[in-house]
Structures are given as C-alpha cells and as structure tokens.
Amino acid sequence: MELSFLQTYWWILISILGAILVFMLFVQGGQSLIRCGVNDNQRNLIVNTLGSKWELTFTTLVVFGGAFFAAFPLFYSTSFGGAYWLWMLILFSFVVQAVSYEFRSKRGNLLGAGTYDACMIINGIVGPVLLGVAVGIMFFGGQFTVDKLNIVSPANPVISTWAPTHGLEAIANWRCLLLGVTVFFLARTLGALYIINNTTDASLRLMMRIKVKISGLIFALLFVAFVVVLLTFTGLRQEAPGVFVAEKALYFNNLLAMWWLIPVLLVAVLAVLYGIFRTAFCPDFTKGIWWAGVGTIVVVLVLFFLAGFNNTPYYPSLTDPASSLTVANSSSTPYTLRVMAWVSLVIPIVIAYIAYTWRRLNRLPASEH
C-alpha cells in the first residue's frame, strides 16, 4: 500500500471515530438535564435512560485517542503530551462520570444521589465544552513547537514543547471556546432528543421538548456563528515540506476545492435541523435523535476533512508555523500504518456488536437498566 493512501485511510477512520464521539456526547448533554426532572422518579428515569450508553461514549473517546496514537504519534505526543492540563480536565470529568454511575444508586452511599447528580451535571457541561475547545485547536491553532532533534538531547529529550499553560490557554481563545459552547448545546439538544425517544413519561417528554426548543435554537445560532468564523479564518497552507503560509478564508477555499462536500454538508445540516425542530413542534414525533444524530456525524466528518486534507495542517502552530502538523508529516511508518490497516478491518464487527448491544439494551424499560 502506498504511504499517502494509508495516511488518507487513517485520517478518514479517525474522522469517523471523532464524528461518532461527538454524536455520543448526547449522554453528557442528557446529564446536564438531570435537574429538569421534577421529582426523584423522573431524575432516576433520566439517569437510567442514559446509564446504558455512557460506557460507549467513554470507549469511543479511548479508541479515538488510541487511533491517533497508532496512526499519528506526533500528534499524540504534541497534544496529549503537551496540552496535558486541558486533557487532564477532560479525563477528570469523565472519571467523575464513571464514579457517579457506579455509586449513585448503591445502598448506603454516604454522599447521596444528589451529590452524584451534581457530578454528572459537571461532566455534562465540562466534558462537551472542553472537548470542543480541544478540537478547536485543530482549526485555530495551538501554542507549541516541534523539534525532532530534541529526542537525542540528554537534558531535554522532548520533541514537542507547549506554552507554560499546557493547553489551558486554548480556553481563552474565543474561537475555540465558541466551538466548545456550540458542542455543549448540540450535546444538550441531542440528550433531550434521546430522552424523548427512550422514555414514555408524558410530563418528562414535554419538559424535554421545551429544552429541545431552547437548546436547539441556541445551538443553531452558535453553529451559524462558528461556520462564519471558520470560513473567514486566515489559516495556514502548506506550500512545501516545512513551509506554511497564511491564507485568507482557508477553510472556505478548502470547501470550494472539495466541492462535493458542499451538498453533503447542506443535507446533513438540514437533517440536524429537521430532527430538532420537528421534535420541538410535533408532540407525537419521537425519532428526532436519529435525524439529528446521523446529520451530526456527517457534519463532523466534513469538518475533519476540511481540517486534514488539501495541504492543510490539522494542528497548526501559532508559535512556529513550521511546527504545524499535517497528515503527511505526523504519521507513523508505512509498516505500522499497514499493519494497523489490517487490524482496522475488525471495526465493522465492533460496530455491529455495538448496534446489537444498543438494541438489546433498548428493549428493557429504563428502570431495569
């Protein structure tokens, strides 16, 4: 297999995993709505409805990071090893989630269900926002430098050097934060759609439809703002190995160059909006999560393609443009990519297993999960 083909193949796989991860954040979004339950029974119903899916979100996050480690180790060492305070906050929020689901309903727990509900709400807000900020770096850049010669330095054998704040500065980047808040309201909307689809409590469904109206409208406005910011952003284009130049409206130009993505993006956006607004205004419609979910996956795929293809660095450096990471300069060796490509052929089996498990779990009432 040609190296360029393998690199493209793995970027597509990682894009798919990233898109699925964003969809699976409906669990976090649903957790942010726990206090919308007017009594303990409704709050328990929300938790139990989401409880059968939270592990899939965490697993997808781990597989997403593992795929990056195998296919693009320079990104892994630069981002996970450099912006570690940002990633540690994300990881901590997911650890809090796991502990909450494990102990919330345990008999004799000293903290009480309310404490674990609060922890789930924290994960439901912090997780999507910070993941959005982390992905925002892939478009708007981070403060890092890369010097592979450092690996032979006994004093400081570190290839990538990050800003002293180690990723926290990205939270102060308003463009990255805009994406983070957009992802949060998307997750919150998807969470409400999922609860509507998986519960039969009439009053809870009514409350969730109200949340779909509010969060869905806010998400739509934020998404339009993000698209405008993204398509007008002056980014970096690689002209030669190690040579990057600033280009106005970089991602808009990428969209024009990959023109076939335009109709795909438009259809996906319409699917998301259809799922949101039909659920919000049609009392008998409960399938909005699938319209909005599939649309979300496709939209995120398009965004990853804009970030990684057409000689565009998917991890631009604001400190040293020459350190920017591309699909070509950050990948593993051809041997590793080739071996992992064969391993990746089991992915359809994993997806089939997830689909089977999903269907089996959905056959049980939420109270039995």
pLDDT of residue 149: 67
Which structure tokens are listed for 81?
């090893």
Instruction: Give this prediction's pTM.
Output: 0.92
How many domains in the chain? 1
Please report the pLDDT score of residue 106 as a whole number.
73
Degrees to nearest 5, angle at CA 209 with 208 and 210: 90
What integer pLDDT is reported at residue 156 of this predicted model?
A: 65
| Residue 241: per-residue pLDDT | 87
Q: Which of 166, 157, 216 is nearest to 187 (CA)?
A: 216
CA atoms 202, 204, 210, 214: torsion sign:
negative
Per residue, what are the HEC states of 9-39? HHHHHHHHHHHHHHHHCHHHHHHCCHHHCCC
Task: Return the pLDDT at 300.
Answer: 97
- Distance, CA of 186 to CA of 39 (rounded, Å): 25
* Residue 142 DSSP symbol: B
In DSSP notation, 290-356 reads HHHHHHHHHHHHHHHHHHHSSS--SB-BSS-GGG-B-TTTS---HHHHHHHHHHGGGHHHHHHHHHH
Tell me how many helices (H) and strands (E) the chain has: 15, 4
Per-residue tokens: 259: 């023109």
Which pLDDT value is given to residue 173? 95
**Positions of the chain with pLDDT under 70:** 1, 108, 110, 149-157, 350, 358, 361-369
Give the pLDDT confidence score for residue 103 in this predicted structure: 81
Residue 287, classed as helix, strand or coil, is coil
Residues 69, 150: Cα–Cα separation, whole Å: 20
Give exposure, 306-342, as e/b (b: 16+ Cβ within 10 Å): bbbbbbbbbbbbbeebebbbbbebbbbeeeebeebbe
In sequence order, the β-bridge partners of residue 365 are: none
Distance CA 266, CA 98 (A): 36
- Domain residue limits at 124: 3-368
Q: What pLDDT is attached to residue 157? A: 67
What gap in Å lies between CA 53 and CA 364, rounded to an integer? 13
Q: How many CB atoms lie within 10 A of CB 46?
A: 26
If you search the block for the tokens 């008999």, which residue do you land on? 107
Type and span of the H or E element at 245: strand 243-247
pLDDT at residue number 364:
57
Give the DSSP per-residue string, 199-226.
Answer: ---HHHHHHHHHHHHHHHHHHHHHHHHH
d(C-alpha 294, C-alpha 355), whole Å: 14
Helix (H) / strand (E) containing 233: none
pLDDT, mean over the chain: 89
Q: Give the contacts of 36 (CB within 8 A, at least 6 positions apart).
A: 42, 46, 207, 208, 211
Q: Under 8 Å CB-to-CB from 219, ≥6 apart: which residues?
A: 182, 185, 186, 188, 189, 276
Is the separation of the CB atoms in 264 and 300 below 8 Å?
Answer: no
